[in-house]
């Protein structure tokens, strides 16, 4: 840190900008920090700058006053869009300057986001410190060299130079949610639990219900499973046939299966649907809020390491996720180690995005069998059923009658 923490902790900021551009998982990981921030500054204007694709999920959050869109053109590297990129960047900078922010918080930690923090003109700018070797030595785990090279280690591309206050972390063995919450130590936020709550508009809930009723009659939430086979990284993909085998097992047990994802993942979901007749492919059909509404209704969510997995955690739904190239301790289902299946190979996590760079034939994902996933799903559902039964018994009381009040 290069400035006095008390200088920030004791101030009552009235205009705050949060910077976290994408993706779905990163945005969801930010919600607990945002909710604490709002409780600390109940009267402040809190804005969030992020990419348009993520805005729909954040726009209705009760802790946010305004969403500032980071335009696609601003990050374009194509020469033909050069003038448009300059115009878009100029417009964004003007919007940020005109808001007169007193505090900018950069959770992203890249050169472009550091430039946004500087562009605000905010006199106080908070972000992560630069990568330091000692954070690796603080871990008792052995992380493969590729993982050490490609995983998150701290603010990147010299972005730390833009901040008036820098947050260092004692170890990398920390989930992203807890890493973001550590900014509370600078701001003096109360550690009052991890609150993922966010708003799903009523119209999104209603449309998700209509989509289900259109294809299925009398959908029972306890018999609804959502499966998200897609991811952005090639290396995070589990077997399409594996997902189909899981879907067929669930449908044999009278569970309704809905496949979810973005429009770019529709083809992947359709391959699963073709191999598991009866599964409904809704990938690309829903907005992010409608996707969240579907997940909220589900008895269980089955995923790779992807955005829907984090939405399921935020919505307190059971989830089973297959992990390979990424580290579940850092970015897995938050505080749910039993929700993760992995082959536990010594070459993972590697954080490689392209299969062409994997020297092991994608063994980390191929090593997880459909049978193992099904077994974990059944154990998870049985556990949820047991907890629901125990809760009902407590509510009824010893005589079996409903307890008053």
Question: Coil, strand or helix: which one is 124?
Answer: strand
Backbone angles phi, psi at 276, to 5 degrees: -135, 75
Considering the entire predicted model, what is its pTM? 0.91
Which among 81, 153, 73 has a CA at the least distance from the CA of 112?
Answer: 73
pLDDT digits (tens, 9 = 90+) for 125-181: 999 999 988 888 888 888 999 998 988 999 999 999 999 999 999 999 999 999 999
State yes or no: pLDDT of 405 exceeds 50: no
Residue 391 predicted with pLDDT over 60: no
The segment(s) of the chain belonging to CATH 3.40.50.2000 are 5-187, 202-388
**Residue 87 or residue 314, greater confidence:** 314
**Residue 15 contacts residue 103 (beta carbons within 8 Å):** yes
User: Does residue 349 have a cis bond before it (omega within 30 degrees)?
Assistant: yes
Helix (H) or strand (E) holding 107: none
Name the phi and psi angles at 351, rounded to 5.
60, 25
Question: pLDDT per residue over 314-334, tens digit each?
Answer: 999 999 999 999 999 999 999
Average pLDDT of the residues of the chain: 90
Please give the biggest Cα pair distance in the chain. 75
Q: What is the mean pLDDT of residues 16-36?
A: 97
Question: What residues does 67 pair with on adjacent strands?
Answer: 48
Residue 359 structure tokens: 């020297």
- Where helices occur in 59-137 by DSSP H, the ranges are 82-98, 111-120, 134-137
Report how far residue 114's alpha carbon sits from residue 127's, in angstroms, rounded to the nearest whole number.
8
pLDDT of residue 194: 97
Return the minimum-mean-pLDDT range out of 229-238, 256-265, 380-389. Answer: 380-389
- Higher-scoring residue by pLDDT: 218, 136: 136
Q: How confident is the model at residue 386 (pLDDT cuts 50, 70, 90)?
A: low
Q: Is the pLDDT score of 344 beyond 80?
A: yes
Averaged over 182-186, what is the pLDDT? 96
Which two tokens mark 350? 């590697």
On the question of pLDDT at 220 being above 90, the answer is no
Helical (H) or strand (E) element with 314: helix 307-314
Fold of 5-187: Rossmann fold (3.40.50)
Averaged pLDDT for residues 287-310: 97
pLDDT tens, residue by residue, 33-49: 999 999 999 999 999 99
Nearest-angstrom CA–CA distance, 348 and 363: 10
Tokens representing 347?
A: 């070459």
pLDDT at 309 over 60: yes
Long-range CB pairs of 311-315 (<8 Å, 24+ gap) are 311/24, 311/28, 313/28, 313/196, 314/28, 314/31, 314/196, 314/197, 314/198, 315/196
Q: Which fold has domain 202-388?
A: Rossmann fold (3.40.50)
Which of 6-10, 69-73, 316-320, 394-398 has the least mean pLDDT?
Answer: 394-398
The Cα angle at residue 373 between residues 310 and 176, in degrees rounded to 5: 25
Mean pLDDT of 2-15: 85
Residues 62, 337, 340, CA angle at the centre, nearest 5°? 95
pLDDT of 16 reads: 98
């Amino acid at each position: 840190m290069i400035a006095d923490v008390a200088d920030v902790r004791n101030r009552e900021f009235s205009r705050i900008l949060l910077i976290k551009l994408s993706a779905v998982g990163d945005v969801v990981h930010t919600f607990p920090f945002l909710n604490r921030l709002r409780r600390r500054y109940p009267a402040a204007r809190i804005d969030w700058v992020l990419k348009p694709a993520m805005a729909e999920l954040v726009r209705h959050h009760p802790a946010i006053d305004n969403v500032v869109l980071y335009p696609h053109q601003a990050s374009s590297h194509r020469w033909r869009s050069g003038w448009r990129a300059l115009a878009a960047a100029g417009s964004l900078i003007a919007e940020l300057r005109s808001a007169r922010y007193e505090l900018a918080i950069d959770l992203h930690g890249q050169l472009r986001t550091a430039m946004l923090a500087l562009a605000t003109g905010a006199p106080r700018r908070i972000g992560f410190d630069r990568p330091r070797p000692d954070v690796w030595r603080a871990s008792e785990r052995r992380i493969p060299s590729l993982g050490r090279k490609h995983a998150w280690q701290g603010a990147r591309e010299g972005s730390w130079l833009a901040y008036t206050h820098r947050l260092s972390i004692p170890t990398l063995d920390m989930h992203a949610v807890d890493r973001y919450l550590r900014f509370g130590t600078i701001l003096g936020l109360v550690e009052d639990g991890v609150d993922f709550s966010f708003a799903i508009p009523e119209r999104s809930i209603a449309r998700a219900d209509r989509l289900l009723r259109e294809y299925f009659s009398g959908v029972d939430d306890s018999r609804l499973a959502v499966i998200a086979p897609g991811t952005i990284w090639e290396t995070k993909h589990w077997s399409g046939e594996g997902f189909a085998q899981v879907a067929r097992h669930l449908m044999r047990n009278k569970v309704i299966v809905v496949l979810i994802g973005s429009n770019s993942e529709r083809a992947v979901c359709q391959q699963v649907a073709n191999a598991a007749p009866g599964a409904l492919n809704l990938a690309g059909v829903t907005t992010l809020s409608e996707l969240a509404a579907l997940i909220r209704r589900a008895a269980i969510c089955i995923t790779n390491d992807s955005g829907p997995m984090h939405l399921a955690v935020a919505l307190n739904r059971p989830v089973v996720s297959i992990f390979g190239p990424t580290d579940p301790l850092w970015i897995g289902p938050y505080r749910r180690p039993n929700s993760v299946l992995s082959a536990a190979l010594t070459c993972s996590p590697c954080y490689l995005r392209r299969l062409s760079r994997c020297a092991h034939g994608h063994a980390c994902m191929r090593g997880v069998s459909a049978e193992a996933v099904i077994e974990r799903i059944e154990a998870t559902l049985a556990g949820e059923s047991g907890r629901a039964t125990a809760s009902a018994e407590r509510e009824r009381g010893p005589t079996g009658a409903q307890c008053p009040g």
